[in-house]
A and B are shown apart, each in its own frame.
Chain A
């Protein structure tokens, strides 16, 4: 006897990494949902702080002796801010999905990256001030 054929689902196994599927899994305890939302908002505020720092570096301090150093610092800061907003959103989605599935939470890779970037900005600024 021939096995019944099923239509091939080309989307099976493909993760929609950029949004939360409301039909997936079960609604988690809302305390986790709200804690996840507050964490996302904390990422956003950190990004806004970096954005403000970038604008301040570019416009409100005296230029360094090194040509275009202030622009590079400002761009690095605003770039990190953009990465942080996007990464914070993707982490919010990943955590919400894990909570709905009852799976362990994904690792927070953005936090050490942000720490390295901010430390790098501080070191570069210190060197530029020392050179000036």
Chain B
């Protein structure tokens, strides 16, 4: 396998993480913007920012193993961070919706 091909696989995955982070950021901004002023806005924004921060940590932690071989599946910590962050974003959305 050519070295360029290896680099592109890792690069595409890093870009996929970046796109996911951008989507999480957009969702966070929308949640903060759409929530009613007061306690709801504070609770929803704090939860959403916490979720976005966890997704950011997951993306940053995943970046290094993709740069340095051997490339293995994402570590449980990375997946766990991403899932907990997404759960926080979902709860924030439910706070806004309900």
Q: Is the CB–CB distance between A82 and B20 below 8 Å? A: no
**A interface secondary structure, majority:** helix
Please tell me if A41 contacts chain B, counting CB pairs below 8 Å. yes
Chain B residues with Cβ below 8 Å from A114 are none
Residues A24-68 near B (CB distance < 8 A) = 27, 30-31, 33-38, 41-42, 44-45, 47-49, 51-52, 54-56, 58-60
Chain B residues with Cβ below 8 Å from A44 are 20, 23, 82, 86
Please tell me if B43 contacts chain A, counting CB pairs below 8 Å. no
Residues B43-98 near A (CB distance < 8 A) = 66, 70-74, 76, 79, 82-83, 86-87, 89-90, 93-94, 96-98
Please tell me if A101 contacts chain B, counting CB pairs below 8 Å. no
Chain B residues with Cβ below 8 Å from A98 are none
Q: Is the CB–CB distance between A58 and B96 below 8 Å? A: yes
Q: Contacts A51-B89, A71-B97, A85-B83 hold; do A58 and B34 have CB atoms under 8 A apart?
A: yes
Chain B residues with Cβ below 8 Å from A49 are 23
How many A-B pairs with Cβ below 8 Å? Answer: 92
* Distance in angstroms between the alpha carbons of A25 and B73 in the assembled complex: 14
Q: Contacts A45-B23, A89-B79 hold; do A59 and B96 have CB atoms under 8 A apart?
A: yes
Q: Is the CB–CB distance between B90 and A51 below 8 Å? A: yes
Min CB distance, A66 to chain B, in Å? 17
Partner of A96, one of B19, B66, B73: B73
Chain A residues with Cβ below 8 Å from B90 are 51, 78, 81-82, 85
Beyond A19-B76, A85-B90, 9 additional pairs, beta carbon < 8 A: A35-B9, A36-B73, A41-B19, A41-B20, A47-B86, A52-B26, A54-B93, A55-B97, A78-B90
Shortest beta-carbon contacts, A-B, top 9: A59-B34, A30-B71, A48-B23, A74-B97, A41-B16, A38-B16, A34-B13, A58-B97, A45-B23
